[in-house]
Chain A
Amino acid sequence: MKREYLIIVMILVALLAWPLVMGNYAVSQANRAMIYALAALSFSLLAGRLGWFSLCQTTFAGISGYTIAILGVRFGLPFPLVVTLALLLTTLSAVIFGLLTVRSRKVSFLMLTLALGQMVWALSFQWVDVTGGYNGIAGVRMPVYGDLNLNDTRVFYALVATVTVAIYLAVWRVYRSPFGLLLLGIQENEQRMRALGHPVALARFTAFVLAGAIAGVAGVFLVYDMGIMSPSPLGLGHAVWVLTAAVLGGYRSLLGPAIGVAVLIALETLVSQYTDRHMMVIGVVLLLSILLMPRGLAEMFEQHFKRKSKPQASVTTTTRGEEP
């Protein structure tokens, strides 16, 4: 218990110190990292708790982003209303997607989310009257309240950090709640959970909608961060990037996705300064880290801590660290 609170305090201190110590570019990179940490959390919620690998979490972020761009820029609706509508619409599409996918298993779930994600991507690309097509919709800006310009990198940082921390804390509670344990139970042995009288399909569906809503929040920040909404964040490349980050960090743990995103963005930023072939360098790093740490960076840290504390029975894996 104590150790967990210590970690939380350390993270908060680091988040507070970052904008005070770092330059503008590092702060804007941190904004991106937190936005993608939310997207990766949304992915990990499904992958880590249910064994569902989704390729459409960035699609939810995209739906949310497009809603904001269309309502905010084309119709000029006020900021709070636009954000509320964006989150509602994203949740609604998560409900629809959820109804379609709730009965599927691992590979078929992956394929379904791939298909749904690609459909929305194609729609964003081709429904030019609404989405602006390949050119996208430009001029998406946060409002300015008096002296408080929400578009300012540091103000935006404060906003994103607050929301991201709040969501991570909320998901932390969810993971430890009976609902979170039920999800793990379903992943482990669905038949048994059903036999025990748990509403398996409902639990899955709820988790899916919850994950969709988190991705929706990421989408809100994403579009305001870029100032333009185009089909590129909905593409397969971004979905795979989020998957990579989550796997690298460790999608089974709470902090894994955030760590994965931070490491990947730091790598991209640092390596691309020195060579155009940075993707190859990053590929090699990924290859090595997945070979050497198949369960992600986060769990390597955790094991480091746990070695000193009393051993804790793993819930989702066998003693050899394999998936059941």
Chain B
Amino acid sequence: MKYAKTLIVSSISALAVGATAHLQADDTLRIGVIGPTTGVFSFFGEQQRMGVELAMEELAEQLEALNIEVEFYDSQGDAETTVDRLRAMESRDDVDLVVGPVLGGTGLAGLEWAKSSGMPTVISYSAPEDITMRDRAENVVRAGWTGAQPMFAFGEYVAEELGHQRIVMVGQDYSFPYNQLGGFLKGFCAAGGESVERIWHPTGTSDYSSILATLPDGDALLYNGAGSDGLAFFQQYYDFGIDAQMPLLGGSNFFAVGDLPEMGEQAIGGLSALQYAEGLETDNFQAFRDAFWAMHGDEVMPLAPAEHGYVAFMMAVNAFESANGGDRDALIAALRETEMPDAPRGPFHLDEYGNPVQNIYINEVQEVDGRLVNVPIKTYENVSQFGPFDAEEYLAGEPDSRDFPPGNCSDPYYD
């Protein structure tokens, strides 16, 4: 019985302490920023964090005037952890607005949670199109992109400007590349392309000899993937000498700046498309980049996740400003009205579904001041997440998948 008493007494006191520890009642507004700052994808989360920190510095006066506090959370790149951290934000830490998540799967998990909680949310880099399409929610907007968005323009560019008719695509076998290829195919076929042959490989493949030895014929090869898989593919593509037969095109993340030094000079001339380019020469971009370098050191190039975090945070603060406080409905209304004429990546506004309508850059890898960077060589302005297509029609169609849309442009689907 003695033990029972001590146990009961101690557990009740522990409960009481726990219950009071996080009761916060004040007029502070709180922004919770979530991204993967540990784990395999920590690069993206760190970029977002650095972007947000820069925005915090630049907006210090507004933050003080509005009494806004910022808290960073680690999603570990895991859907379950993301939901857990989001719950902590709402019910433990009294957060008023969420910026993030960053990765595809965590973005969808965050969306699912946001739907049930009603939390005003600015998704930053996470790109699954259904976040702002088929599964969209009133309280969730996006500062970044959808996987297909830059690829409509790229498909068009490859067919029209480069004149390639038949493309061989090798890609990582999961949703994001499906969506990238979907956008590419829709743009490519509409601009007079002929066909795209798909070859999917599991993520984490390091040996491509069997794929490279049996490649079908084509005018160009599109590698639809990124990261260490992309690097390995790039090396082996050149080792096999296939670059002499077919030029290599990249998915949006293929010629990522982090990988360019390892790719080396062979990467020069590599083409890809994104709503961002670290070789942009606009004043807005260069001011952003220089401020970023001044804060974080110039060995770190600000990439799209950093800019998207920076912009998402600005959208959040602007919303607090025009809502004049933390009222949810007013915040959400303000977020949906977002216009960012001075964003580093170029001007954008949100469409009625909550996704940016923005510039898409066709980027070429060039050497600038001793660094390999993506320099825009052509700009498609005001591209929405539906590309050149009608929103209602697009939404009525099937979502992109492993085998959809069809790879042959003469398919009745494209009529």
**A binding-site residues for B, Cβ under 8 Å:** 6, 10, 13-14, 17-18, 21-26, 28-29, 32, 122, 125-126, 128-129, 132-136, 138-139, 141, 151, 226-228, 230, 232-233, 237, 269, 272, 276-277, 279, 305
Q: Which of chain B's residues has its CB closest to A17's CB?
A: B15
List residues of chain B with CB within 8 A of the CB of A138. 108-109, 111-112, 135
What 1/0 mask marks residues of chain B from 150 to 188 whose CB sits below 8 Å from any chain A CB? 000000000000000000000001111010000000000
Q: Which of chain B's residues has its CB closest to A273's CB?
A: B88
**Contact present for B174 and A227 (CB under 8 Å):** no
A-B contact pairs, 14 of them (CB 8 A): A17-B12, A21-B19, A22-B15, A29-B84, A128-B175, A133-B174, A134-B105, A136-B108, A136-B109, A227-B83, A227-B112, A269-B88, A272-B74, A276-B74
B128 contacts the other chain (Cβ, under 8 Å)? yes
Complex Cα spacing A10 to B104, Å = 44
B199 contacts the other chain (Cβ, under 8 Å)? no
Q: Which of B4, B115, B175, B402 contacts A135 (CB 8 A)?
A: B175
What 1/0 mask marks residues of chain B from 194 to 226 whose CB sits below 8 Å from any chain A CB? 000000001100000000000000000000000
B16 contacts the other chain (Cβ, under 8 Å)? yes
Least distance between B137 CB and chain A CB atoms (Å): 11
**Contact present for B105 and A276 (CB under 8 Å):** no
**Contact present for A128 and B88 (CB under 8 Å):** no
Q: Which of B79, B92, B108, B128 contacts A25 (CB 8 A)?
A: B92
**Contact present for B175 and A230 (CB under 8 Å):** no
**B binding-site residues for A, Cβ under 8 Å:** 3-4, 7-8, 11-12, 15-16, 18-19, 22-23, 37-38, 74, 78-80, 83-84, 87-88, 90-92, 104-105, 108-109, 111-113, 115-116, 128, 130, 135, 173-176, 178, 202-203, 401-402
Q: Helix, strand, loop or mixed for chain B's interface?
A: helix
Q: Which of chain B's residues has its CB closest to A32's CB?
A: B84
Given contacts A226-B83, A227-B116, A230-B109, contact A135 B88 (CB under 8 A): no
**Contact present for A136 and B105 (CB under 8 Å):** yes
List residues of chain B with CB within 8 A of the CB of A141. 116
**Contact present for A226 and B37 (CB under 8 Å):** no
Complex Cα spacing A10 to B12, Å = 11
**Contact present for B105 and A10 (CB under 8 Å):** no
**Contact present for A279 and B15 (CB under 8 Å):** no
Question: Which 3 A-B residue pairings sit nearest by Cβ, starting from the closest?
Answer: A24-B91, A25-B92, A25-B91
Complex Cα spacing A13 to B175, Å = 47
**Contact present for A23 and B402 (CB under 8 Å):** no
**Contact present for A125 and B174 (CB under 8 Å):** yes
Q: Which of A28, A126, A232 contacts B202 (CB 8 A)?
A: A126
Q: Which of B4, B92, B174 contacts A6 (CB 8 A)?
A: B4
List residues of chain A with CB within 8 A of the CB of B109. 136, 138, 226-228, 230
Complex Cα spacing A28 to B174, Å = 31
**Contact present for B15 and A18 (CB under 8 Å):** yes
Q: Which of A17, A227, A276 contacts B37 (CB 8 A)?
A: A276
**Contact present for A25 and B105 (CB under 8 Å):** no
Q: A134-B104, A138-B135 are in contact. List 20 more A-B contacts (CB 8 A).
A: A22-B18, A23-B92, A25-B87, A26-B18, A26-B92, A28-B87, A29-B84, A32-B84, A122-B202, A125-B174, A126-B174, A138-B109, A138-B112, A141-B116, A226-B79, A227-B109, A228-B112, A230-B109, A232-B80, A277-B38
Least distance between B53 CB and chain A CB atoms (Å): 14
**Contact present for A23 and B80 (CB under 8 Å):** no
Complex Cα spacing A13 to B16, Å = 15
List residues of chain B with CB within 8 A of the CB of A228. 79, 83, 108-109, 112
List residues of chain A with CB within 8 A of the CB of B116. 141, 151, 227
List residues of chain A with CB within 8 A of the CB of B12. 17
Q: Which of chain B's residues has its CB closest to A229's CB?
A: B79
Complex Cα spacing A91 to B394, Å = 41
Complex Cα spacing A135 to B37, Å = 20
List residues of chain A with CB within 8 A of the CB of B92. 23-26
Complex Cα spacing A25 to B79, Å = 17
Q: Which of chain A's residues has its CB closest to B174's CB?
A: A134
Given contacts A136-B79, A227-B83, contact A129 B402 (CB under 8 A): yes
List residues of chain A with CB within 8 A of the CB of B203. 125
Least distance between B85 CB and chain A CB atoms (Å): 8
Q: Which of A32, A122, A227, A237 gathers the greatest number of chain B CB atoms within 10 Å?
A: A227
Complex Cα spacing A280 to B113, Å = 29
Complex Cα spacing A46 to B112, Å = 35
List residues of chain A with CB within 8 A of the CB of B22. 23, 25
**Contact present for A135 and B105 (CB under 8 Å):** yes
Least distance between A233 CB and chain B CB atoms (Å): 6
**Contact present for A276 and B38 (CB under 8 Å):** yes
List residues of chain A with CB within 8 A of the CB of B83. 226-228
**Contact present for A233 and B175 (CB under 8 Å):** no
Q: Which of chain A's residues has its CB closest to B109's CB?
A: A228
Least distance between B409 CB and chain A CB atoms (Å): 23
Complex Cα spacing A26 to B14, Å = 13
Q: Which of chain A's residues has its CB closest to B85's CB?
A: A272
Least distance between B140 CB and chain A CB atoms (Å): 12
Q: Which of chain A's residues has its CB closest to B8's CB?
A: A10
List residues of chain A with CB within 8 A of the CB of B105. 134-136, 230, 232
**Contact present for B128 and A135 (CB under 8 Å):** yes
Complex Cα spacing A122 to B178, Å = 17
Complex Cα spacing A24 to B117, Å = 13
List residues of chain A with CB within 8 A of the CB of B87. 24-25, 28
**Contact present for B135 and A139 (CB under 8 Å):** yes
Q: Which of chain B's residues has its CB closest to A28's CB?
A: B87
Q: Which of chain B's residues has its CB closest to A133's CB?
A: B175
Complex Cα spacing A128 to B105, Å = 13
Complex Cα spacing A126 to B173, Å = 7
Least distance between B354 CB and chain A CB atoms (Å): 16
Complex Cα spacing A24 to B175, Å = 34
Complex Cα spacing A26 to B174, Å = 35
Complex Cα spacing A86 to B67, Å = 49
Q: Which of B19, B104, B401 contacts A23 (CB 8 A)?
A: B19
Q: Which of chain B's residues has its CB closest to A266's CB?
A: B18
Complex Cα spacing A160 to B37, Å = 31
Q: Which of chain A's residues has its CB closest to B179's CB?
A: A135
List residues of chain B with CB within 8 A of the CB of A237. 78
List residues of chain A with CB within 8 A of the CB of B108. 135-136, 138, 228, 230
Least distance between B20 CB and chain A CB atoms (Å): 9
List residues of chain A with CB within 8 A of the CB of B84. 28-29, 32
Complex Cα spacing A44 to B281, Å = 61
